[in-house]
Structure 1
Amino acid sequence: MTETITNAVAVRDNGPQAMVERYQGELAQVMPSHVNAQAWTRLAVGVLRRDPKVAEAAGNDVGAFMSALMDAAQKGLTPGTDEFYLVPRRKRRGAPLTIQGNTGYQGYIELMYRAGAVSSVIVEAVYTNDRFQYRPGRDERPDHEIDWDADDRGQLRLVYAYAIMRDGATSKVVVLNRKKIQEIRAKSDSAHSEYSPWNTNEESMWLKSAARQLRKWVPTSAEYIREQLRAKAEVDAEQTAPQQLATPSAPMPQPHQDDDEDGPVEGELVD
């Protein structure tokens, strides 16, 4: 009996909830300055309380769970939401559930807004009963009409994403069809888990695929803001010295590679 109580206390003191609370300071150190560490920690603990499968998977491998939380904290995203998924999965058949952390479509959109280069981000799914038209090189943005009175919009057909920059320009328009989405899904390590958003919320993963592709063409880092400020300072300095040529403003960052699995991209960049 005493041994059982001792083991229960050890599990409680080293369980996922206790570890989140114990390492709150370390998590807070890597968070962006705008994130409230205490509120973030409460939300992370709340996921364990409301989702038994996440709690089970986190308890099976607390290290993997904390690694996922550290990734979310560094990005300043809320775990257990469409910003950052906590996906229970099995590394092999018969193995215990563990947690895999994945940035969600709302997370990619949040990172784009946070960089300060965009005024709006549009990520939408197209169903078979919707009307959709986009001609690269001719249309600046897709023309998408939805019959909101329809009882059924049909099956998922396409997904698209683009951003409107602060100067009014339209970013590259990303359009993915079902075949391209299936190619992306096939590269996902967690897609075969019954708890994966690929199986529980398919539309959100279509949206994520488009948002992740758009991320290559839209700044998602504070480095963009710093570069703009540096360029402005150089221009201001040059203006105080008329004998020198003016320095051009900082160019738009080139597309960067994402850490996640990649898929094909369609669309054209419209200036």
Structure 2
Amino acid sequence: MTGQTIGNALAVRDNGPGALVAQHRADIELVMPSHLQKRVGAWVRTTQGLLRRDEKLLKAAQNDPGQFMAVLLDAARLGLEPGTEQYYLVPRWNTKKRRTEVTGVRGYQGEIELMYRAGAVSSVIVEVVRQRDEFSYRPGRDDRPGHEIDWDLSLEERGELRLAYAYAVMKDGATSKVVVLNHGHIAKARAKSDSADRDWSPWNTDEEAMWLKTAAHRLAKWVPTSAEYVREQLRAQADVDDERSMPSAPMPAGPLPQPYDSGADDDAIEGEFVDDEGEVLS
């Protein structure tokens, strides 16, 4: 048997990772968003195909099947496609256990997908700026960045990565906070990844995607990314409808009560401290 044939056999045998995915199909379907449950069969087959094609991924899944299934259930819960730019499956070295295991890394397309799914945005823009691109953005004055690309140039001719930016256009036409990241921001995000120095890390295999992901990840702080947002909106609207349907109580006779004056400044604006460092990116 060839190495690939052996790998295929290990992936689908009764106690192999591929068979384990099939055995837990019901669990995967249970945690999936309802609109994806009809595709659970294709989702399972796609994951099994990844194991057949990637010997390193198969070995990592065999080393810790429980960790592998936990990663797949996380992807299913988010409704993201494993093994794609929505959700990477990465064979990662575990120093304590002295072996590789499968780690899930949400990609930039996954971040964007979750923003769209929340239902609050009409479009999400996440781009990188290269050395020969023209880019301008003045916070407080410009609504959105200006980015011009000479499409006659090849990717190499456009030059090295210089900036990454992201923003969303909400359904009411408003523009979200604009996130602009330079080399320093990206370097800090990369430094927080304990796998960035590994050959298999997305930081080394797809650097542009990781720049995009970092920008999308920062934008997620300012844009709803959960279906819970939709449910909250529906509940709020239901509460308003209920109040409108209730009969109004008659106003009491006599002078109206005067509003309470606490002496506080009514014009105080709520502020928010923003962690510029962001969360750990893998």
Unpaired segments ≥5 residues, structure 1 = 1-7, 245-253, 263-271
Superposition deviation, residue 255 in structure 1:
9.7
Q: Superposition pairs for residues 53-72 of structure 1, below 5 Å?
A: 53-72=56-75
Superposition deviation, residue 12 in structure 1:
2.9
Superposition deviation, residue 96 in structure 1:
2.7
Aligned partners of 1:125 and 1:215: how far apart in 2? 17
Which residue pairs with 2:82 in the alignment? 79
Superposition deviation, residue 178 in structure 1:
0.9
Aligned partners of 1:255 and 1:42: how far apart in 2? 44
Q: Secondary structure at the match of 1:14?
A: coil
Work out which structure has the larger RCO, using CA pairs closer than 8 Å and 6 or more positions apart in sequence.
1
- Which of the residues 152, 159, 164 maps onto 2:164? 159
Q: Superposition pairs for residues 110-149 of structure 1, below 5 Å?
A: 110-149=113-152
Contact 1:88/1:193, CA 8 A, preserved across alignment = no
Aligned partners of 1:98 and 1:234: how far apart in 2? 48
Aligned partners of 2:210 and 2:124: how far apart in 1? 17
- Which of the residues 100, 103, 106 maps onto 2:103? 100
Contact 1:115/1:222, CA 8 A, preserved across alignment = yes
RMSD of equivalent CA atoms: 2.5
| Bigger mean CA deviation after superposition, 58-67 or 167-176 | 58-67
Aligned partners of 1:72 and 1:93: how far apart in 2? 25
Superposition deviation, residue 260 in structure 1:
4.5
How many positions carry a matched residue from both structures? 245
% identical aligned pairs:
59
Superposition deviation, residue 83 in structure 1:
0.5
Q: Secondary structure at the match of 1:234?
A: helix
Q: Which string of whole-angstrom CA distances, capped at 9 and with x for unpartnered residues, describes residues 11-68 of structure 1?
A: 9322111111111111111111111211111111111122222112212222221111
Matched, 1:168 2:173: yes
Q: Superposition pairs for residues 1-271 of structure 1, below 5 Å?
A: 12-35=13-36, 36-92=39-95, 95-151=98-154, 152-241=157-246, 243=248, 260-261=279-280
Aligned partners of 2:247 and 2:177: how far apart in 1? 37
Unpaired segments ≥5 residues, structure 2 = 1-8, 250-271
Amino acid in the other structure paired with 2:100 = L
Aligned partners of 1:12 and 1:44: how far apart in 2? 15
TM-score (norm 2): 0.81
Amino acid in the other structure paired with 1:236 = D
Q: Secondary structure at the match of 2:34?
A: coil
Larger radius of gyration: 2
Which residue pairs with 2:256 in the alignment? none
Superposition deviation, residue 107 in structure 1:
0.5
Q: Secondary structure at the match of 2:13?
A: helix
Q: Secondary structure at the match of 2:172?
A: coil
Superposition deviation, residue 237 in structure 1:
2.9
Superposition deviation, residue 129 in structure 1:
0.8
| Bigger mean CA deviation after superposition, 134-143 or 190-199 | 190-199
Aligned partners of 1:41 and 1:256: how far apart in 2? 39
